[in-house]
């Protein structure tokens, strides 16, 4: 597994996420707001030990999340997410992958982590342009 510096969201993103979480109980969020929430909530899954395997095995609406990454402009993350779609049909435990599968997944995750380096800037730009 590659080491990846965990994403630290700026205060403006954290405050907006908190506001959206509280408002979501009383109103329907816009598609842009939902996309932001999807991205924010998915990052910890992608940064976890199971990373892409966890993304595909978890209870997320994967296609909506992929569309959300695309909507906010994080298209470099869409390719590794789609390339790892085969994880959805694999065993529940990542440790049951064959050596070939594990090597392939590690290659995809390296691409994912490189793309995640730009995610904070993309999210901040998205907020300024779409929600500003």
> What's the rounded mean pLDDT across residues 81-96?
91
Domain limits at 72? 11-131
- Please state the domain count of the chain: 1
Residue 4 lies in a domain: no
Residue 122 confidence (pLDDT) above 70: yes
Residue 27 lies in a domain: yes
Alpha-carbon torsion 83, 42, 109, 87, what sign?
Answer: negative
pLDDT at res. 91 = 82
Cα–Cα nearest to 62, from 44, 82, 40: 82
Residue 36 lies in a domain: yes
Residue 1 confidence (pLDDT) above 50: no
Residue 120 confidence (pLDDT) above 80: yes
Residue 3 lies in a domain: no
Q: What are phi and psi of 58, to 5 degrees?
A: -80, 180
Residue 83 lies in a domain: yes
First-last CA distance in the chain: 37
Residue 77 lies in a domain: yes
pLDDT at res. 3 = 56
Residue 59 lies in a domain: yes
Helices 11-23 and 31-47: crossing angle in degrees, nearest 10, is 120
Q: Which residue has the higher pLDDT, 62 or 95?
A: 62
Residue 42 lies in a domain: yes
Q: How many residues does the chain have?
A: 132
């Amino acid at each position: 597994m590659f080491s990846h510096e965990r994403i630290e969201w700026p205060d403006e993103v954290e405050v907006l996420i908190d506001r959206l979480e509280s408002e979501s109980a009383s109103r329907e969020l816009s598609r842009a707001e939902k996309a932001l929430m999807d991205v924010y909530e998915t990052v910890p899954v992608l940064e976890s030990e199971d990373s892409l395997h966890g993304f595909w095995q978890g209870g997320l609406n994967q296609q909506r999340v992929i569309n959300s990454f695309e909507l906010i402009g994080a298209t470099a993350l869409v390719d590794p997410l789609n390339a790892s779609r085969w994880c959805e049909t694999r065993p529940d435990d990542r440790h049951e992958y064959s050596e070939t599968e594990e090597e392939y997944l590690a290659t995809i995750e390296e691409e994912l982590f490189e793309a995640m380096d730009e995610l904070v800037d993309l999210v901040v730009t998205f907020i300024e342009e779409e929600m500003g």
